[in-house]
Structure 1
C-alpha cells in the first residue's frame, strides 16, 4: 500500500516501509446467538510484534457495512481495534490517519470472516482469525514524520486478543529458510552445470584434435 504525497516540506528521495497487520477475530456466541447476532468480532490494525502504532498513526476509521449504525467508527488510541456483533461477513474499510497532516490517509480493505474455512463445527472457545501482512510505503515523507518512522516504535500494546494473533515473525523465518534452501539448490545445480560444461569443453577439444589428426592423415 502506498501513501499519496503532498509537495510541501517533504524529504525528496526518501522511502520508508512500515509493516503492519490488518486483521479480525470472530467468536461464535453459541447459546447466546440469535438471528441477527451470531458472532462477536473485533477488527484491528496492529504491529507484527504488537508494537504501539500510535507513534505515527493519529487515529483509525473503521467503515462497516451500511446495516450498522453508525457505519463509521473512529478509534483514537491504541490498541486500534473495534468490536461489534453481527451475523454476516463483509469487506470493511480501514483508513489510517497519520500524526503529520501533510501525509494523506491510507485505506485498507479487510474481509471480515465469521465462519471457518474449510467449514467445520464452530466452538465458542475457538475463534476464526483472519490476518494479513501489509507494508505501508511512505515516499518523500515530511521531515518530521521521516525521523519518527526511522526511530520506530518505543513500546508494545497489550490486548486480550493477542493470544490468538498469528506469528508473522515465525512465518518470516520460515520464508527465509525456504529462500536459503532454494538458493542452496540453485548453487548446487550451477556447480553441476559448470562441471558438466568443463567436461563438454574437454570432449570438444578431444574431438577437434581427432578431426585434425584425421585431416592430416588424409
Structure 2
C-alpha cells in the first residue's frame, strides 16, 4: 500500500539508478544442455530474460517487482516476479525456438509514488554482432544479450529519496553481495556508481565508459576532418561552376 501523498517533491533534484536487462540463451544438447522432460519437440533453446543490478548489485530497494510479457504462444505469457531476496535478479525461464520482443515493466516501491516504466527487449537466441563477437558466443555455447539502462527520478518525493540514499548495513557472507560493484559509498550510503573495471561477463564499467567517450571523440574528430575536406571540395566545385557559367555567357554573347 502506497503511503499518503502528503509528501513534498525535492525541487531541482535528480537521482538515477542503473540496471541491466536482457537475456541468456543456450542451445539444447544431449551432453551440455539436455532437454528437460515434457519440453515440446520443436523447442531448440532454453533461455532466461532478466532485470538485475549492474554487477549483480541489489535493486530491490527501489524496484518492487518486474512484469515480463512474453509471446502469446507461451503458456502464462504474463509473468510477474516480486518478493525477491535482496540482490537476486528478476528473471523468467522458458524454452522455445523463435525470437520475439519482450515487454518489460518495472514497478517501483510504494514510497516512490511513481508510475511503472516500460522497456522492450528483443529475445536473442542466435549469435549476433560482429564476426568476432559471433565466434566468441559460439565458443561459449551460450548467448548473452544485455543492455545498460538508467532510471532517472526527477524531483523525487522526500521519503523515496531518503530510501535511495540511506545507509546499507554492512555484513559478512551473503550480505556483502549487495555492495559489489561500488554501489555503496565509502560512508555506507547507496549510490549510482558502476564498477571501475569491466570483465568478460560484466562489460558495464567506468573503464568501458571512458573507452566509449574516447571512441566518440575520435569519431567526432574524424567527422570534422571529413567535413572540412567536403567543404573544400564544395568550394572548389562552386568556383569551377562559376567559371563555366562565365565561359558560357561569353560564348552566348
In the other structure, the counterpart of 1:203 is none
Deviation per CA, 1:132-152, whole angstroms, max 9, x where unpaired? 111111112221111222348
Instruction: Decide which of 37, 46, 50 is 2:43's aligned counterpart.
Output: 37
Alignment pair present for 1:166 and 2:196: no
Superposition pairs of residues 75-90 of structure 1, within 5 angstroms: 75-76=81-82, 77=84, 78-90=88-100
* Equivalent residues in 2 for 1:40-119, closer than 5 Å: 40-76=46-82, 77=84, 78-100=88-110, 102-117=113-128
User: Cα gap change, 1:152/1:139 in structure 2, threshold over 3 Å: closer, same or farther?
Assistant: farther
Alpha-carbon offset, residue 182 of structure 1: 8.4
Taking structure 1 as reference, are residues 48 and 115 closer, same or farther at Cα in structure 2, changes over 3 Å only?
Answer: same
Q: Does structure 1 conserve the Cα–Cα contact (< 8 Å) formed by 2:55 and 2:202?
A: no
Q: TM-score, length-normalised on structure 1?
A: 0.67
> What is the distance in 1 between the residues matched to 2:200 and 2:61?
24
3-state SS of paired residue (1:49): helix
Q: Secondary structure at the match of 1:168?
A: coil
CA offsets per residue over residues 67-100 of structure 1, 9 Å max, x none? 1121111111122111111111011011111112
Unaligned runs of 5+ in 1: 1-6, 158-162, 186-218
Q: How many residues get paired?
A: 176
Question: Residues of 2 paired with 1:164 and 1:82: CA distance?
Answer: 23
- Quote the residue 2:17 is aligned against: 18
Q: Superposition RMSD on alpha carbons, in Å?
A: 3.3
Q: 1:68–1:110: structure 2 CA closer, same or farther, 3 Å change rule?
A: same
Runs of 4+ in 1 over 6 A off after TM superposition: 119-122, 179-183
Larger radius of gyration: 1
CA distance change for structure 1 residues 125 and 152 in 2, over 3 Å: closer, same or farther? farther
Q: Provide closer, same or farther for how the CA distance between residues 156 and 181 of structure 1 changes in structure 2, counting only shifts above 3 A.
A: farther
Structure with more contact order per residue of length (Cα contacts < 8 Å, sep ≥ 6): 1
Aligned position for 2:160: 145
CA contact (8 A) 1:27 1:125 kept: no
